[in-house]
Structure 1
Amino acid sequence: MIAYLEGSLFKKEEDRILLLVHHVGYEVLLPTVVMDALGERETGSPLALHIYYYQTERQPRPILIGFHREREKNFFQLFLTVEDIGPIKAAKALTMPVEKIAQWIESGDVAGLSGLKGIGRRTAQKIVATLGGKAGQFLDMPMEDQKRPQGTSPLQQNMVGLVRDVLVQQMGHKLAEAEKLIQAALARNPDIHTPEVLLEEIYRSWRPGGVHDG
């Protein structure tokens, strides 16, 4: 079983890469948060990935899912213990850093989890019920010591998730850029409470090549 690969980036597609290791190309599926971390890395760049190897009788063709950090892979494996979440669904759902998702789990933030790709409210509730108390190891610091970022009050969390999905999935923004646009808009107008008004605020000041006009 393949657990780790080290080589060079040969090709990058929307949700996967081809990693060249000793003249052998491995197709590796990357969660969004892992792909975003690659940034503008060019072909030929050295790259090392922790690998989750997936193969079953129903899925005889092996699927390799890659992570930059072992911590991400370990969280992914914990995520798979939730009923009805398989490797492909879990990989697609990881659109945020594992530390953020772990924070939502430990705080019981169903709205935040529902903003992950492919995760509805019922599945989010299952995640909290199954993993609550188990995800704390993936937090950078204890929950009580973390400052709540702007725009993550209980009412705003669902709104932020909806707007993030629109920006990334429908309007083509990178995840990191979408986060910056949302937080900048909320900093300018912290009283926003609907997705429609938040989108209006974002595009009122947004310009190509920058987050906002200031």
Structure 2
Amino acid sequence: MIVQIRGKLLDLDQSYAVVEVDSIAYEVMLPGYCVSSLSGSIGKEVTLCTMEYYEGTPGGGNLIPRLVGFNTRGERDFFAIYTGVKGMGIRKGLKSLAMPIETIAAAIENEDEKFLKSLPGVGPRLAQHIIAELSGKLVTFAMQGYSGGGEGKGIKADFTDYQIEALEILIAWGEKRNEAIELVQKTVQNHPDIKSSEELVPLIYKLKQGGEV
């Protein structure tokens, strides 16, 4: 499987890029937000994290290999989860990603059906499926600057691993993302000596119930 491609960006369309690697040009399908991020890079060297899939009907003998590209490994990981939703698929998934990954992931975590319905190709029923199947599973992706292992910005940079784990627990238990973030931040500020989610979560709920922490 081809998981990364690095080369000169020869062409950029609304849905794909052409990348030259050692005199061979590869067509790489892209989500909309990725096309925007590459708009000033024609003629320059670019690196895309990629995934392969075959398009067509297996029984028909006309399977066509395709490459799909992303800016980071984290974006590729998100896409693999996102396209697992019933009724989504690769093509529809690419078309719908007109906004940055963290923005869409945050909307899913906040169960913002109105926002999801505004994405290209996502109607009311699919928006409901996305929320039902993925809410609570995209906390890390929803954090601004998530890069799948690289140095990030925003919440991922501010939160330690155990704080992120506590945040995931809160959201899995039904807390809204933004409210959970505030609870974690306030409790950690009051208890800077805490070093594990096991210690942090009970104190957060004590705070939420109006107790002193």
What band does the TM-score fall into relative to the shorter chain?
0.5 to 0.7
CA RMSD of aligned residues (A): 1.5
Q: 2:83 is matched with which residue: 73, 80, 83?
A: 80
SS at match of 2:64: coil
Q: Which runs of 5+ in 2 are unaligned?
A: 144-154, 156-166, 168-176, 183-213
TM-score after normalising by structure 2? 0.65
Q: Answer with 1 or 2: which has the greater Rg.
A: 2
Q: Secondary structure at the match of 1:62?
A: strand
Runs of 4+ in 1 over 3 A off after TM superposition: none
Query: 1:13: Cα distance to partner?
Result: 1.9
Distance 1:12 1:56, change over 3 A: closer
Describe the superposition over 1:83-136 as per-residue Cα deviations: whole angstroms up to 9, x where unpaired. Answer: 011111101110111111111111111101001110001100000000011011
CA pair 18-56 structure 1, distance change in 2 beyond 3 A: closer
**Long gaps (5+) in structure 1:** 147-214
Whole-angstrom distance in 1 between the partners of 2:55 and 2:12: 26
Residue in structure 2 matched with residue 187 of structure 1 by the alignment: none
The aligned counterpart of 1:138 is 141
Between the aligned residues of both structures, percent identity stands at 32
User: What is the deviation of 1:57?
Assistant: 5.4
Deviation, 1:42, is 2.5
What one-letter code is carried by the residue in structure 2 that aligns with 1:15? S
Distance in 1, matches of 2:48 and 2:42, equals: 16
Matches within 5 A, 1:1-214: 1-43=1-43, 45-55=44-54, 58=57, 60-140=63-143, 141=155, 143-144=177-178, 145=181
Distance 1:37 1:47 in 2: 11
Give me the whole-angstrom Cα distance separating, in 2, the residues matched to 1:102 and 1:26.
29
Equivalenced residues, count: 145
Q: 1:112, 1:124 → 2: CA distance?
A: 9
SS in 2 for 1:134: coil
CA distance in 2, matches of 1:24, 1:101: 34
